[in-house]
Amino acid sequence: MSITADDVKAALSKVIDPNTQKDFVSGKSVKNIQVDGGNVALDIELGYPANSQVGPIRTSVAEAVKSLPGVADVKVNVTSKIISHTVQRGLKVMPNVKNIIAVASGKGGVGKSTTAVNLALALAAEGASVGILDADIYGPSQPMMLGINGRPESRDGRTMEPLENHGVQVSSIGFMIDPDEPMVWRGPMVTQALQQLLEQTNWRDLDYLVVDMPPGTGDIQLTLSQKVPVTGAVIVTTPQDIALLDARKGLKMFEKVGIPILGVVENMSTHICSNCGHTEAIFGEGGGEKMCRDFGVDFLGKLPLTLEIREQTDSGRPTVVADPDGPVAAVYKDIARKVAVKVAEKAKDMTSKFPSIVVKND
């Protein structure tokens, strides 16, 4: 009895992608099935970056195909193909940035910037081309967090090159001002500066641009949400009631401007004593998960309040690069995969497929 491509598909329809929770056939990941007698070769094309997942996925797919009678050898090639997805109505995807992920919070001090930088680094570790835009004009922190000094260069006098460290491209107003210099600017100036940072930085073919948003839900945040083509937003909060109150406002703001919520991250969920290891929920517990249930959005994960996260970030080597195999980095990487999968499940951006209509008066 000879094996057919349909037999292979039938076997793979029972294999679940651990990240999307869909089987590889209905998820349209199975490509280029080739059967030559008892030899089978196929591609698994994922819509999200997955360097750490290639081995387990290849094994589970190969085992399923090998279970078919008559199969002697299986070759599985696992790749990632990240495409542009839809943004707010009336805005176009940037030509050199496939997806923009806004990381926001309703208030300051909840670890939004730390979450943003580790999310960017985790996506890069999984094989994606990633940039981070420090949109917090009044309090830029990404230069310090990523250990980057210096001024961006301009090769044409109109645009600037992003600075880079740990494999991530970075643009921040912090590169252009003295660290002790306060930004005494009104809202319109801040918005204009931010748009220039976004549009006049020569981002190099990014799969994801993570935007570290300013805290709050005021005029600046609203203008950004209406002018920047955002694929989706991640809300960062702590379990504390007062933080959750503001996080809910941030979530509703994105909903009002048509930006999907990719999920909620609960930061400083528990405090772990560095001496005895005792764990205590000093800011309360369960608040982030309850907020997700109330609004029908995904809970992406929770992170502890530890001395190491603060020390690593302050030193310019955030947790994902300072301790890549540690338990906290594993949480950041899990959150990054969930975010990437949520982006991959969104509708594909088709604006480039439609021709521009020009009306001429003869």
Q: Is 37 within any annotated ligand binding site?
A: no
Superfamily per CATH, domain 97-344: P-loop containing nucleotide triphosphate hydrolases (3.40.50.300)
Q: Which pLDDT belongs to residue 336? A: 96
Q: Kindly list the domain boundaries of the chain, sorted by start residue.
A: 5-80, 97-344
C-alpha span between 247 and 250 (Å, rounded): 5
Task: Indicate the helix (H) or strand (E) that contains 37.
Answer: none
Q: Is 106 within any annotated ligand binding site?
A: yes
List CB contacts of 148: < 8 A, sequence separation 6 or more: 142, 163, 164, 165, 170, 175, 316
Mean pLDDT (whole number) for 257-285: 82
List beta partners, residue 271: 280, 305
Where residue 174 falls among pLDDT bands split at 50, 70, 90?
Answer: confident
The pTM of this model reads: 0.90
Q: Is the pLDDT of residue 352 over 90?
A: no
Q: Is 277 within any annotated ligand binding site?
A: no
Q: Is 360 within any annotated ligand binding site?
A: no
Mean pLDDT (whole number) for 2-29: 91
Q: Which pLDDT belongs to residue 205? A: 95
The CATH number of the structural domain formed by 5-80 is 3.30.300.130
Q: Is 326 within any annotated ligand binding site?
A: no
Query: CA nearest 30: which of 91, 77, 71?
Result: 77
Where residue 361 falls among pLDDT bands split at 50, 70, 90?
Answer: low
Q: Is 302 within any annotated ligand binding site?
A: no
Q: Is 286 within any annotated ligand binding site?
A: no
5-80 and 97-344: identical CATH topology: no
Dump pLDDT digits (tens) for 34-84.
998 889 999 999 999 999 999 999 999 999 999 999 888 999 999 999 999
Where residue 190 falls among pLDDT bands split at 50, 70, 90?
Answer: confident
Dump pLDDT digits (tens) for 99-143.
999 998 877 778 899 999 999 999 999 999 999 999 887 878 898
